[in-house]
Amino acid sequence: MDLKDIKAIIDLMKKNSISEFELEKGQEFKIRLKRATGPGGGAVGDEGAIPAYVPVVASSAPVPASPVAAPQAAQVTAVNEVEIKSPMIGTFYRAPSPESAPYVEVGTEVNPDTVVCIIEAMKVMNEIKAEMRGVITAVLVDNAKPVEFGQPLFKVRPL
């Protein structure tokens, strides 16, 4: 796929108000575009200008079989559960310190502002919030283990 094709996809996204696009050709090529949005939900930029797009995954080399995540860290799964996914690469911590209790356990009710874990990236501790209302049904990563972008961290049953 060349730049001309990508620009055509971006134009179609803009014309049809599509905020996210993903294309996969076997295991050799994957591309994912997400339209940047402003505070009101509209596209960033002036009319007539190309809106801001973030290529999440673009590769012509073989890509591992792991699923590509939605940037807002949630994707619907079977039995009406949602996965909270890692928004970055780093080290996963369930608690604010080794002596502290975990932020959440299976059965914990969460709301959009509930901190569910910390991901350390480049010596910066990033609090990850649930971004939804629900009940934690599974913890999918062990404490102090490395995580990849888009890796499922928790499963949540929405309320």
**Same domain for 82 and 39:** no
> Rounded mean pLDDT of the chain?
77
Q: What is the pLDDT of residue 36?
A: 63
Which pTM does this prediction carry?
A: 0.52
Q: What is the pLDDT of residue 18?
A: 79
Looking at per-residue pLDDT, the higher value among 38 and 101 belongs to 101
Q: What is the pLDDT of residue 114?
A: 96
Domain at 135, CATH number: 2.40.50.100
**Same domain for 153 and 81:** yes
Q: What is the pLDDT of residue 10?
A: 79
**Same domain for 110 and 42:** no
**Same domain for 79 and 46:** no
Residue type, 30: K
Helix (H, G, I), strand (E, B) or coil at 139: strand
Looking at per-residue pLDDT, the higher value among 13 and 129 belongs to 129
**Same domain for 86 and 16:** no
Determine, yes or no, domain membership for 26. Answer: yes
Q: What is the pLDDT of residue 37?
A: 57
Domain count, the chain: 2
9-23 CB burial, b ≥16 within 10 A, e <16: bbeebeeeeeeebee
**Same domain for 139 and 114:** yes
pLDDT confidence band for 130 (50 / 70 / 90) = very high
Determine, yes or no, domain membership for 69. Answer: no
Does 121 have pLDDT greater than 80?
A: yes
Domain enclosing residue 137, as ranges: 74-158
**Same domain for 103 and 47:** no
72-107 CB burial, b ≥16 within 10 A, e <16: ebbbeeeeebbbbbbbbebebbbeeeeeeeebbeee
Looking at per-residue pLDDT, the higher value among 85 and 78 belongs to 85
